[in-house]
Structure 1
Amino acid sequence: MTPELFKYLLCGVYVVIIYWLSWVGMRRTRDIRSFSIGNKDMGPVLIGITFAASVASTATFVINPGFVYVHGLSAFIHYGIAASLGIACALIILSRRFLRVGTQHQALTIPDWIYHRYQHRGFSLFFALINLLSITFVVLILVGCSLLMTGLFPISQKAALVIVLVFVFSYVLMGGTYAHAYTNTLQGIMMLVIAVALFVQGIGYFDGGFFSQLQSVGVNYAKVFNPDSNLYFSFFSVFISGFIVTFALMLQPHILTKVLYIKSEADVNRFIFVAVLVGFCFSLMLAIGFYARLSGLEIEQQDSVVREYLLSEFSHSTFGQYLLTFVFITLLAAGMSTLDGILVALSAMVVKDIVVPLTGDHSRGLQMSRWVLVGVGVIGGVIAWQPPALIGLFAQKGVYGLAAASFVPILLGVMSQRQLPVWLAFSAAVLALVTHLLLNLAMGVTNPAVSASYAILLSMAYSLVCLIFVRSKKLEIIQKNNLTSTP
């Protein structure tokens, strides 16, 4: 069998399996609830792999290694170490309580959870609207997948974009959450194998010693804080912002809602263990940025570093071409595993938290959610048709803004047992979103993680001051009532 025939055959097998899993999912999808979070009959291992695959996505497997290629060790620590710690801490702190509140109120989406926690429909509508910023990540994944397809097949990037759109949207339209979870399990296992294999394959580039090899590129390239970098040059930009913004990113609708798939709190620990372990293995893909730099490749387009490295390493032998096909399909699967999760979350959210509250029509939720999917696909495809120069930073501007706005309302809602003032949570969310956008778009803070982290810290400080003020006022009222009631 020639490598060319093998390529089309393997791709065909992958497509058939994905559609079969989606058909199985469609048979179990009966209403908007099962489309959104399933019927709570999936095991914690399956959900853990689904979660990790959704977090990793095209960013980890395709886009972020380009930052490591350009900025060196500082970028690797930012995305690999600080971000991994943020994910682990967020899961440990949030999962159990979020599941408890979500199960108690039968919540289907993040805005739905906000509504039940704060008992205010206007606040949940605000959350649903700002969650539409997730479409920037849809654009990132579409661009990343189309770049990979041009390395696999002799087609233009725009043709590849259309193929990815049609394929992913069609199988998600069929099965919703079940299609997403089943296909993500398959894709997650493929991603796990490839991430470890590519890490081991290129480790020979460090034969002369890890730091000495990085220093051969440049002294600052091997520094934890790179003074030549406009993104990762200080303790805050490398460690603190990486930890804070990734913790906050766990509050995205396509990520945290995975917790609602879990049947009971007894399964939470196993879910967290699987998710963190698999996620750590996925982060090994960041080393591709080092390998591409140490191999001597000169790559102008940062977003295409992974594609160019793989073509350089594996396209020169027959066996390498076989392997390259499997790797490229797996990297495409990495993007699709997150894209389908975002699509399910966005479509369910638009219907449940925007359309139904505004129209009062509860009868056509499943049908409307599928039409919303089509609309999201069209909008994402239009933006991805002429993408920004650095798609990674473009996506971070929107998604990190959403993370900043979500941080205080969800964290306080999870951690506090009391009924919290809606005005406090709403103003904290608006403050965080506006601060992030101002810092990043108007005040010269280039790294969206840094601007979002400053916004989150400011929002947290504001919220704590407000909470202290509210409680002191309550104490004053109680004391006055006690004094007036004393004879």
Structure 2
Amino acid sequence: MNAEFFKYALTALFVAVTFWFSFIGMKRTKGLKSFSIGNKDMSPLLVGITMAASISSTATFVINPGFVYNHGFSAYLHYGVGASLGILTAFLLLTKGFRRHGDKTGALTIPDWIFHRYGSRKLSLFFAGINLLSVTFVVLILVGCSILMSSIFPVSQKMALVISLVFVFSYVLMGGTYAHAYTNSFQGLMMVFISLFLFFHGIKYFDGGFFESLQTVGPNFALPFNTESNLYYDFFSVFGSSFIISFALMLQPHIFTKILYLKDDKDITKFISTTIIVGVVFSLMLFIGFYAKLSGLAAIKQDAVVSEYIINEFSGTSWGKYFLTFVTLGLLAAGLSTLDGILVALSSMVVNDIYRPLAGNKITSEKHGLWLSRLVLVVIGLVAFSLAWSPPQFVGLFAQKGVYALAAASVAPIVFGVLLKKTLPIWVVATSSCIGFFGHLYLNLFHGIYNPSVSSSYSIIASIMFMAFCHFMTFGPKLEQAPITLED
């Protein structure tokens, strides 16, 4: 079997398996609820793999290694250490309380959870509105997938964009959450293999020692705080902002909603453990940034570092051409695994939290809601496609500006909503959310803070301090609920 035939055969197999899992998911999707969060019959291990794959998307597998390539060890610490600690803290602190409240009220989305927790439809609509900014992350993933696809197939990046869009939207339309979970598990296993192989294959570039090898690029490239970097130059920009924004990003609609897939509290430990273990394996992809730099690769675009590296590493050998196809499909799977989750979350949210209340609950049945969610999915696809057709130069930063804004708005309301039994006045919650949302946009767009994680972190701190002060003045400093531990 020649390499060209193998490439198309393996791709066809990947597409067929994905659609098969989607077909299985479609048979279990009967209405808006099952489309949004399933029927609470999925294994916590399955949900854990799905969660890890959703977190570690095109950003981890394609975009973030480019930051490591350009900024060095400081960027690795930002994404690999600070971010991991923020993710773990969010899970340990919030999972149990968020799942219990969502299960008790039947919440389907993050804005729906906000509505049931605070009893305000206007606040819920505000959250639904700002969560539409997730479409910026859809653009990032579509661009990343199109770059990868055009690197191994004889198609332009524009055509690759069209193919990626049609493929992922087709199987999500069929099965919703079940299609997302089943295909993510399949794609996640591919991603585990790819991460481990590429990590160990490239470790040869550290033969002279890890830091010694990095210092050959330049002294600042090997430092934890790169004074030559405009993004990762001090403790807060490297660790503090990464921890805070990664904690906040776990509250995105396509991530934290997965906790509502779990049936009861006994599933939580298995779920968190699986998510963390698989996520650590995925984070090994950040080393590709080091390997690409040490190999002498002169990448034209930061966002194309990974695709250029794997082509240079594997296209020159007889077996490498075969493996190159598998690696590229694995990287595509990384993007699709998050993209389908965002699409399910967005379409469910538009129908359940925007259309339903504004239309006076005129959804006549679960099947009616399912039909509407699929229609909304098509509209979201057209919007994302129009934005991805001519993307900004640094699509990673473009996505961060939008997604970090909604993350900054979500932290205080959700954290205080989980940890406190008493409810603060709606104006306090709304003001806190606006401080996070508009504070980030002001600092990033008009106040010269170029790194979105830094501007959003400052806004999150201000938002939490405001809400904590209002709580103290209203109820006193005591929290009524302890955070979860893995032993619970």
TM-score range, shorter chain: over 0.9
Measured after TM superposition, the shift of residue 397 of structure 1 is 0.2
Matches within 5 A, 1:82-121: 82-121=82-121
Q: Which residue of 2 aligns with 1:241?
A: 241
Aligned partner (choices 379, 385, 408) of residue 383 of structure 2: 379
Rounded Cα–Cα distance in structure 2 between residues aligned with 1:275 and 1:322: 30
Tell me if 1:370 matches 2:374: yes
Larger radius of gyration: 1
Matches within 5 A, 1:280-295: 280-295=280-295
Measured after TM superposition, the shift of residue 407 of structure 1 is 0.5
The superposition leaves residues 225-275 of structure 1 with CA deviations (integer Å, 9 ceiling, x where unpaired) of 000000000000000000000000000000000100001100001100000
The superposition leaves residues 2-40 of structure 1 with CA deviations (integer Å, 9 ceiling, x where unpaired) of 000000000000101111111110000000000000000
SS in 1 for 2:56: helix
Matches within 5 A, 1:280-429: 280-359=280-359, 360-363=361-364, 364-429=368-433
Aligned residue identity for 2:401: K
Rounded Cα–Cα distance in structure 2 between residues aligned with 1:343 and 1:396: 18
Rounded Cα–Cα distance in structure 1 between residues aligned with 2:174 and 2:473: 51
Rounded Cα–Cα distance in structure 1 between residues aligned with 2:30 and 2:468: 43
SS in 1 for 2:424: coil
Matches within 5 A, 1:222-261: 222-261=222-261
Rounded Cα–Cα distance in structure 2 between residues aligned with 1:468 and 1:185: 44
The superposition leaves residues 99-158 of structure 1 with CA deviations (integer Å, 9 ceiling, x where unpaired) of 000000010000000000001111001000000010000000000000000111011000
Rounded Cα–Cα distance in structure 2 between residues aligned with 1:164 and 1:356: 30
Aligned residue identity for 1:176: G
Structure 1 runs (4+) greater than 3 angstroms displaced: none
Measured after TM superposition, the shift of residue 420 of structure 1 is 2.4
Q: Which residue of 1 aligns with 2:450?
A: 446
Rounded Cα–Cα distance in structure 1 between residues aligned with 2:214 and 2:470: 48
Aligned residue identity for 1:72: G
Matches within 5 A, 1:29-108: 29-108=29-108
Aligned partner (choices 460, 470, 473) of residue 466 of structure 1: 470
Measured after TM superposition, the shift of residue 317 of structure 1 is 1.1
The superposition leaves residues 403-441 of structure 1 with CA deviations (integer Å, 9 ceiling, x where unpaired) of 000000000001111122211111000011111000000
Aligned residue identity for 2:146: S
Rounded Cα–Cα distance in structure 2 between residues aligned with 1:433 and 1:470: 24
Give the TM-score taking structure 2 as reference length.
0.96
Q: Which residue of 1 aligns with 2:271?
A: 271
Aligned residue identity for 1:260: L
Q: Which residue of 1 aligns with 2:486?
A: none
Rounded Cα–Cα distance in structure 2 between residues aligned with 1:434 and 1:253: 19
Measured after TM superposition, the shift of residue 470 of structure 1 is 2.3
Rounded Cα–Cα distance in structure 1 between residues aligned with 2:469 and 2:89: 24
Q: Which residue of 2 aligns with 1:8?
A: 8
Measured after TM superposition, the shift of residue 361 of structure 1 is 1.3
Q: Which residue of 2 aligns with 1:215?
A: 215
Measured after TM superposition, the shift of residue 300 of structure 1 is 2.1
Q: Which residue of 2 aligns with 1:483?
A: none
Structure 2, unpaired ranges of 5+: 477-488
Q: Which residue of 2 aligns with 1:127?
A: 127
Rounded Cα–Cα distance in structure 2 between residues aligned with 1:306 and 1:269: 34
Rounded Cα–Cα distance in structure 2 between residues aligned with 1:262 and 1:459: 30
Give the TM-score taking structure 1 as reference length.
0.96
Rounded Cα–Cα distance in structure 2 between residues aligned with 1:243 and 1:307: 28
Rounded Cα–Cα distance in structure 2 between residues aligned with 1:399 and 1:384: 16
Rounded Cα–Cα distance in structure 2 between residues aligned with 1:289 and 1:297: 10
SS in 1 for 2:191: helix
Q: Which residue of 1 aligns with 2:156?
A: 156
Measured after TM superposition, the shift of residue 325 of structure 1 is 0.3
Aligned residue identity for 1:465: F
Aligned residue identity for 2:226: N
Q: CA RMSD in A?
A: 0.7
Measured after TM superposition, the shift of residue 339 of structure 1 is 0.1
Rounded Cα–Cα distance in structure 1 between residues aligned with 2:423 and 2:452: 32
Measured after TM superposition, the shift of residue 198 of structure 1 is 0.4
Q: Which residue of 2 aligns with 1:198?
A: 198
SS in 2 for 1:412: helix
Measured after TM superposition, the shift of residue 471 of structure 1 is 3.1
SS in 2 for 1:195: helix
The superposition leaves residues 192-214 of structure 1 with CA deviations (integer Å, 9 ceiling, x where unpaired) of 11001100000010000100100
SS in 2 for 1:230: coil
Measured after TM superposition, the shift of residue 313 of structure 1 is 0.1
Rounded Cα–Cα distance in structure 1 between residues aligned with 2:14 and 2:227: 44
Q: Which residue of 2 aligns with 1:485?
A: none
Measured after TM superposition, the shift of residue 216 of structure 1 is 0.2
Structure 1, unpaired ranges of 5+: 473-487
Rounded Cα–Cα distance in structure 1 between residues aligned with 2:36 and 2:152: 33
Rounded Cα–Cα distance in structure 1 between residues aligned with 2:81 and 2:337: 22
Q: Which residue of 2 aligns with 1:484?
A: none
Aligned residue identity for 2:384: G
SS in 1 for 2:258: helix
Aligned residue identity for 2:363: H
The superposition leaves residues 383-412 of structure 1 with CA deviations (integer Å, 9 ceiling, x where unpaired) of 000000000000000001110000000000
Rounded Cα–Cα distance in structure 2 between residues aligned with 1:361 and 1:219: 63
Aligned residue identity for 2:40: K
SS in 2 for 1:217: coil
Rounded Cα–Cα distance in structure 1 between residues aligned with 2:470 and 2:439: 18
Aligned partner (choices 437, 446, 454) of residue 433 of structure 1: 437
Measured after TM superposition, the shift of residue 466 of structure 1 is 1.5
Rounded Cα–Cα distance in structure 1 between residues aligned with 2:318 and 2:382: 39
Identity of aligned residues (%): 59
Number of residues of Structure 1 aligned to a counterpart in Structure 2? 472
SS in 2 for 1:383: helix
SS in 2 for 1:316: coil
